[in-house]
Structure 1
Amino acid sequence: MVNGEKLILDGNAVADSMKLQLEGRIKRLKERGITPCLATILVGDDPSSATYVRMKGNACKRLGMTSMRVELSASTTTEALIAAIRELNEDRSVHGILLQHPVPHHIDERAAFEAIAIAKDVDGVTAVGYAQNAFGYADYPSCTPAAIMAILAYYQLPIGGKHAVVIGRSPILGKPVSVMLLNADATVTTCHSRTSDLAALVRMADIVVAAVGKPKFVQGDWIKPGAVVIDAGYNPGNVGDVDYEACLANASAITPVPTGVGPVTIATLLKHTVHAAEKLGG
């Protein structure tokens, strides 16, 4: 809390700060004849996925970056998708590759992720990228976990020595944010669908990260007074994984949905793409 007031963690403010820092880097790259380029791959016609891809493309354009959009039909095979990814790996004008999740069920998503060259894995989805993140030296950690860490840093919320409870263990959110918090000297409990007495564990947390994919899953009476609540969920109707109003009563700081983690995730993706452009050149 700030002077007794609840601290609403405004993701737009964090994202704007990050983008401002990118402007000079992009300008210097362009002076060298290099325009950072993010290639997004959309398989199928899921409307939510299409919206996310469009948002990322628009964010690129607003910063003067290039967005290359690759659209494949829902009937695309794993082999065809991997072939398209390999083409982008070889394209020197492309600096970052993002495969929009989820892909149709018949596709081996893990095989497709692993086809992305580590130098262009700006969304942090490969096994090598995850391992580098675990050891604390990844250039491109998974974007939403990195966004969560950026929010905590921007608002100078302490992590070292705190007990963080992460609800969710997906390989691109729950697991990587757990290891990032651990590397920042938090004591971390990672919970999942088979965790016993989840509410009791959450009540012990100084930092709660909700990444479970269920609307209003985290209840207000689960939150320890003064805890920091990070809602990394997004469900239909602009609803997060946290019962916002109920959790706000006990939390000292909390992210709203959709203006919390989401904008910072996109800004992180742009930051990673610019970094990749600086490393790869044209």
Structure 2
Amino acid sequence: MERCSQSNEKNDSITRKLIVELKDGINYLKKSTGIVPRLAVLQVGDREDSNLYIKVKENMAKKIVVEISKYKFNEDVHQRKIFSLINSLNLDPNIHGIIVQLPLPNGFSEFELTEAIDCIKDVDGFHSSNLTRITKNCVFNPPCTPSGIIRLLSEYNIDLEGKLVTIVGRSSVVGIPLFHMLNNLNATVTLCHSKTRDLESMVKMADIVISAVGKPALIKGHWIKPGAIVVDVGISYVDGILQNARLKDSSKKSGKRIVGDVDFENALKNASLITPVPGGVGNH
């Protein structure tokens, strides 16, 4: 999170700490059981944001010594073929976790495909049994991004109890599970989305704003209450002109730049803490 000149050092320190924790746990697992953890990642299509997320997973897997098996399908694949693969992976003792990279192209059922995953191997926590357990505060596999957000806030010693939290984005990936997880921690949570009427007022009242929509500059900087905390997990690729600012990044061969949902530079004037995009949640 951005707060002072040392914020990047703080973020890197948190990342290193988590990597050490994970590596230690995985090394213990290997020594005590002989199990080498392997994650299966299924992707349909070639979305830029999905490619980015999978690359992040691969980079982290290398750091913590987890093996990854990737299965990529063209958009014209029949859903039955994906079901067949998932069933095989469910039965494969050498596969310990399965992820279907979301979102899927039109014509594919995210619900049916994630439901097909054995809930024990559902490391994303999207299976209905895992999502139901979140509401009861006894989840087996908590969703990764919401868990990462809560861990990040904890590392900055932010007490969530009684805080007014506005979540923008109602997906099953972030918004909905995060709503329940924060509620379990005694925060007062409002769940909004891109079509919420008077979204500005919902954001302005919040002690903590969390956005996960994927719409550039959806959250204006002046909406942020002075001293509020902002966690931006939205990702969009942009180029050309947005809000009178050149977003073309000459360091990228594509000429595109990754941005979040929040007008970062202006929000920085009011926020006490704010995550950058890229370089914030899920980008290490």
TM normalised by structure 2 equals 0.87
1:279 is aligned to: none
Asked if the contact 1:40–1:68 (Cα under 8 Å) also holds between the matched residues in 2, the reply is yes
**What is the distance in 1 between the residues matched to 2:47 and 2:200?**
34
1:91 is aligned to: 92
Moved more, 28-37 or 38-47: 38-47
| The one of 235, 240, 258 aligned to 2:260 | 240
- Spell out structure 1 runs of 4+ moving beyond 6 A: none
Moved more, 105-114 or 157-166: 105-114
**What is the distance in 1 between the residues matched to 2:50 and 2:196?**
30
Partner of 2:259, secondary structure, is: coil
1:156 is aligned to: 157
Deviation at 1:104, TM superposition (A): 2.3
**What is the distance in 1 between the residues matched to 2:12 and 2:80?**
38
The structure where helix makes up a greater share of residues is 1
Q: Percent identity?
A: 39
Partner of 1:169, secondary structure, is: coil
2:204 is aligned to: 203
1:2-50: CA deviations, max 9, x gaps?
9x95884764433321111112211112212111111111122334423
Partner of 1:262, secondary structure, is: coil
**What is the distance in 1 between the residues matched to 2:213 and 2:183?**
19
Moved more, 150-159 or 69-78: 69-78
2:226 is aligned to: 225
**Runs of 5+ consecutive residues of structure 2 not aligned to the other structure:** 238-256
1:214 is aligned to: 215
Asked if the contact 1:8–1:255 (Cα under 8 Å) also holds between the matched residues in 2, the reply is no
**What is the distance in 2 between the residues matched to 1:247 and 1:190?**
20
AA aligned opposite 1:176: P
Deviation at 1:77, TM superposition (A): 1.4
**What is the distance in 2 between the residues matched to 1:46 and 1:226?**
36
**Runs of 5+ consecutive residues of structure 1 not aligned to the other structure:** 265-282
Deviation at 1:263, TM superposition (A): 3.2
1:26 and 2:46 aligned: no
Distance 1:30 1:159, change over 3 A: same
1:252 is aligned to: 272
Distance 1:102 1:194, change over 3 A: closer
RMSD across aligned positions (CA): 2.1
Asked if the contact 1:8–1:253 (Cα under 8 Å) also holds between the matched residues in 2, the reply is no
Asked if the contact 1:15–1:263 (Cα under 8 Å) also holds between the matched residues in 2, the reply is no
Deviation at 1:193, TM superposition (A): 3.3
Q: Matches of residues 57-136 of structure 1 in structure 2 within 5 Å?
A: 57-136=58-137
1:132-162: CA deviations, max 9, x gaps?
1121111222111111101001111111011
1:186 is aligned to: 187
1:148-188: CA deviations, max 9, x gaps?
10100111111101100011111111111111111111101
Deviation at 1:71, TM superposition (A): 2.1
Distance 1:174 1:7, change over 3 A: farther
Deviation at 1:90, TM superposition (A): 0.5
Deviation at 1:72, TM superposition (A): 2.2
**What is the distance in 2 between the residues matched to 1:241 and 1:6?**
23
Distance 1:100 1:28, change over 3 A: same
Distance 1:122 1:195, change over 3 A: same
1:102-155: CA deviations, max 9, x gaps?
222122221001101110110111111111112111122211111110100111
1:263 and 2:264 aligned: no
2:248 is aligned to: none
**What is the distance in 2 between the residues matched to 1:7 and 1:209?**
22
AA aligned opposite 2:120: A
TM normalised by structure 1 equals 0.87
Asked if the contact 1:11–1:261 (Cα under 8 Å) also holds between the matched residues in 2, the reply is no
Moved more, 76-85 or 4-13: 4-13
AA aligned opposite 2:261: D
